[in-house]
A and B are shown apart, each in its own frame.
Chain A
Amino acid sequence: MLFTQITFQAALPEYILALTALGLVLMAAFSGSTNSAKRFIKLTALVGYLLAFASIFVLPSESHSIYFGLFRINNFLIYMKAIVLIGAFFACWMVTSDWADGVEKPEYQVLIMLATLGMLLMISANDLISLYMGLELQSLPLYVIAAMHTRSLKSSEAGLKYFLLGALSSGMLLYGASLVYGYTGFTRFDDISSFISQNVASSGIIVGVVFMLSGLAFKISAAPFHMWTPDVYEGAPTPVTALFAITPKVAAITLLMNVTYFVFSDIRFEWMQVIIALSVASMIIGAFGAIMQKDLKRMMAYSSIAHMGYALAGLASGTHQGAAGVMIYLTTYVFMSAGAFSIILMMRRDGLPVQKLSDLSGLSSTHPYWSFGLMIFMFSMAGIPPLAGFFAKWYVFLAAVNSGLIPLAIIGVLTSVVGAFYYLRIIKLMYFEDVDQPLDEGAPTENVIILSLSIIVTVLFLFIIGPLREWSHGISQTFPVSGML
């Protein structure tokens, strides 16, 4: 093994996160549990994310693989890492020690930093083994923090459910990976991809691919593998739910894209059927499941299922345009979820968190800024122009139509109309209903800053969409799929 300069340079964000996380373990162990110590640990974690984000800019711009090809970077992966780090920074910053529910322990920061590290490793995976290891490093801390509120029965239930179903999905992924290895004889992504392009793909490989896709669909909570999502979102402490909604899905979709577009690009007619089925099911379940929900977090869970369905619609096109559409979609998704959850975290009555939809009634008269922000995000998620969500949906559906998946695009548009119903219901509750019991005044500065940032990005997205589109199209050319089918 040659440790050249590139070995250190290419994985710089990962080294920074790993070392910061290990430092946090020591600090958490020795600093005691005073409030100032907790604040210091959180500050260190935030500095770690910022440093890792800054190091994104010094990564080499051409494609490299290090550690004997186990780890790979290119511009697409670097962009996705930047999105994940922004999301993780928001999710970490949103929690303040006096507003946390059961996540005030310093271990929380250690665990989410290790989970973020797992996400980055998963994005960079270039081998079936490193894929699995990254995925596990990402999932294990998330199981723990879902159950972190030890005094809440619902939190324990959420953790247990997430753990059991996550273990099942890991099993499916591993089974698929073992079949792929067995029928190709390789674990390295480049080798598998060149093997498939030179040989006829046997049914064993296809069965393996379907199992791997199912395992990954669990992680992005695409229907019909979405069963855990509403319960886990509802039961986990709200800061944890915010983290679940923002970052792991970006990493898992990137991995899914890596596997489908890069490794199995030569059998795309086989995996496209699976992705189309997942996409249609997610869009329908996400739209209709949310209608009856009374709980804001459960509603957001169904909303995220629907969003994953739309992102998969872009993926299903199997074209460069689709890849660029997914990148734009995930970018807007991170900001919309971060903004929406920054408001949900601020919702308190008499110092206790509330999360029912009815608690929002008449919010505009008591908290005009919050309700304005929530209105922007709801309009954006519903896909109303000229907000960010509209452009995101536009590009994924455009990619689907251009590759001949017109029925998929029609289902997508119809389900967004259904989805608009429950997004608009929230706006109606906030602006046209009377105040029942007002929510608490006063909000942590961090959340207000995240809220304002997300509003700015969501509203002004139409000014950055042009350059972002050009740029993402440029990046997506690195995938070995054809431009048009």
Chain B
Amino acid sequence: MIETIFFYLFASVTCLAGLMVISSRNPVHSVLFLILSFFNAAGLFILLGAEFLAMLLVVVYVGAVAVLFLFVVMMLDINFAELRDGFQRYMPLGLGVGGLLLTEILFVFFNRENMPERLDLTTGVSNTRALGRVLYTDYIYLFQIAGLILLVAMIGAITLTLRKRENVRKQSIKKQNERKREDTIEVVSVPTGVGIRKP
């Protein structure tokens, strides 16, 4: 009973938030609604018993991807009115794709008697533990390659974006410590009425 209530709660909020993502006028609000919909989808995963996937969704999509979107939306100067110009033109395409997806969902809905039974996965081992058992043993090879690929991604991103710029007034502690008194200060006795002439 309580499971059903929570399912409808999460599902309806996910759908409403998804609708708001595409209909809200302010792009920052869109991203925030996207985050809301991610959280509710994570709730649905927990109801299905997939707690690892739920945590992954929150950590990766909310923690990284959505924040990245937020940055991009705030930093790039995108003219959103211009983006909406093609609305009429792309309408048939969007309706076509949407209709196709709707047909597929309805197909599954009307054939639900013929679908295979839901497997009982409650073997007493949680998702996270089951993954942990094989990830570092059976799949250690792939785990290590994945590590190398991430290293390549990091080195690549830094190599392509880091460049040494001239004329940047950055504090150099070494330079400051090496400065001597003699290099910078000169004591000059100023004769009256003459002033200091630059050497």
Contact = CB atoms under 8 A, between A and B. Distances in A.
B142 A110 contact: no
Given A1-B140, A67-B140, A68-B138, A136 B156 contact: no
B78 interface: no
A141 B151 CA distance: 10
B138 A130 contact: no
Main secondary structure of the interface of A (DSSP, over half): helix
Contacts of B140: 1, 67
A1 B155 contact: no
Given A68-B138, A70-B142, A147-B160, A25 B149 contact: no
A110 B154 CA distance: 12
17 contacts: A67-B140, A67-B141, A110-B155, A111-B155, A111-B156, A117-B148, A121-B145, A133-B145, A133-B149, A134-B145, A136-B149, A137-B152, A140-B156, A141-B152, A141-B156, A144-B160, A148-B159
Given A117-B148, A137-B149, A130 B155 contact: no
Main secondary structure of the interface of B (DSSP, over half): helix
A71 B140 CA distance: 12
A70 B141 contact: yes
Interface string A46-81: 000000000000000000000110110000000000
A148 B163 CA distance: 12
Given A140-B156, A141-B156, A130 B148 contact: no
Interface string A127-139: 0011001101100
A107 interface: yes
Given A130-B142, A133-B142, A107 B155 contact: yes
Interface of A: 1, 18, 21, 25, 67-68, 70-71, 105, 107, 110-111, 114, 117, 121, 129-130, 133-134, 136-137, 140-141, 143-144, 147-148, 150, 159
B153 interface: yes
B145 A137 contact: yes
Contacts of A136: 149
A144 B163 contact: no
A43 B159 CA distance: 21
A71 B141 contact: yes
Contacts of A133: 142, 145-146, 149
Of the candidates B141, B142, B158, the one having the most CB atoms from chain A within 10 angstroms of its own CB is B141
A18 B148 CA distance: 8
A150 B158 CA distance: 12
A114 B144 CA distance: 13
Given A67-B140, A114-B151, A144 B156 contact: yes
B137 interface: yes
Contacts of B156: 111, 140-141, 143-144
Nearest to A105: B159
B141 A130 contact: yes
A144 B148 contact: no
